[in-house]
């Protein structure tokens, strides 16, 4: 069953466009991808006709209410080509061009498309990966995932009375918690009514999970809050360990 949001990856390089589409497709097997890279004669550059053909094919694949196409690009002239094609499209309202980090934006938003998010929701995820000017102007240690920015309030720990669960799992996959295993974790986590973290990282973010650098045999802490917290931790532990040996010790509080 195909997802209702499809993607067009536009690059000056045919190999780069195809590679990004291939990588993202590994994380989101039910999502349709079109790669539009290089010129018709194989040179580095962009082609209006290639982008237009890719966009039309993606629009045909994007069906259902809230469906449409996300377009991602690498450099400035590719963006101008995309904007020209969208301006001439009869289905412009079903297209979202997102100016964001190409690889990270494609991977993170493709996983959300795989989970069934609509066009605007998927576009918002892609846009959240765009570099912030304060990061560019003042390089340094990156802001911790989930950390509040200046002026933001931190939620009180006592404000929630939801069910909580936690447990440990030893990662069995030979590649650790990377790429496809991370995407599989996110897809399973999304099936539960719970907020989930792994070693403090957002269990709903492929990029945050991959950034942990978890390798085979490493022990991780899974924590969940919400109505399905207990079931979520148990199921995710099973998935990571892939054995009948459960090291997860659930602790519930209300």
28-43, pLDDT tens digit by residue? 999 999 999 999 998 9
CA distances from 74 to 10, 38, 181, 238 (A): 7, 12, 26, 39
30 φψ region: left (φ > 0), alpha (ψ -120 to 50), beta (else): alpha
Of the pLDDT bands very low, low, confident and very high (cuts 50, 70, 90), residue 63 is: confident
With 60 as the cut, is the pLDDT of residue 245 above it?
no
What is the mean pLDDT of the segment spanning 39-53?
93
Phi first, then psi: give them for residue 67, nearest 5 degrees.
Answer: -85, 170
Identity of the highest mean pLDDT range in 1-5, 56-60, 144-148, 226-230? 56-60
What CATH number should be reported for the domain whose range is 5-131?
3.40.50.510
User: Is there a common fold for 5-131 and 161-241?
Assistant: no
Q: For the whole model, what pTM was predicted?
A: 0.69
**Pairing relation of β-strands 68-73 and 95-97?**
parallel
Of the pLDDT bands very low, low, confident and very high (cuts 50, 70, 90), residue 199 is: very high
Nearest Cα neighbor of 228 from 184, 165, 159 is 165
* DSSP 8-state class, residue 155: P
What is the mean pLDDT of the segment spanning 110-125?
93
Out of 3.30.70.1170, 3.20.170.30, 3.30.1340.10, 3.40.50.720, select the CATH number for domain 161-241: 3.30.1340.10
12, 32, 178, 246: which is the annotated catalytic residue? 12
- Residue 142, burial from CB neighbour count under 10 angstroms (0-12, 13-18, 19+): exposed
Asked about 246 being catalytic, the answer comes back as no
């Amino acid at each position: 069953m195909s997802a209702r949001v499809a993607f067009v990856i536009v690059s000056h390089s045919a190999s780069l466009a195809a590679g990004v589409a291939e990588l993202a497709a590994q994380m989101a097997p039910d999502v349709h991808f079109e790669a539009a890279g290089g010129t018709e004669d194989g040179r580095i550059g962009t082609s209006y006709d290639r982008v237009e053909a890719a966009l039309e094919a993606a629009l045909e694949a994007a069906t259902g209410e809230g469906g449409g196409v996300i377009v991602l690009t690498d450099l400035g002239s590719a963006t101008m080509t995309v904007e020209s094609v969208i301006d001439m499209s009869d289905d412009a309202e079903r297209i979202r061009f997102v100016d964001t980090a190409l690889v990270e934006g494609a991977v993170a938003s493709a996983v959300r498309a795989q989970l069934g998010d609509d066009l605007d929701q998927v576009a918002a995820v892609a846009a959240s990966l765009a570099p912030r000017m304060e990061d560019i102007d003042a390089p340094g240690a990156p802001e911790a995932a989930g950390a509040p920015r200046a002026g933001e309030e931190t939620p009180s720990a006592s404000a929630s009375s939801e069910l909580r669960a936690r447990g440990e799992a030893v990662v069995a996959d030979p590649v650790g918690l990377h790429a496809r295993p991370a995407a599989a974790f996110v897809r399973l986590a999304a099936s539960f009514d719970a907020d989930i973290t792994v070693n403090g990282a957002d269990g709903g973010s492929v990029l945050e999970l991959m950034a942990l650098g978890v390798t085979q045999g490493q022990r991780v802490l899974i924590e969940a809050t919400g109505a399905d917290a207990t079931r979520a931790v148990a199921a995710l532990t099973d998935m990571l360990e892939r054995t009948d040996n459960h090291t997860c010790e659930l602790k519930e509080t209300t």
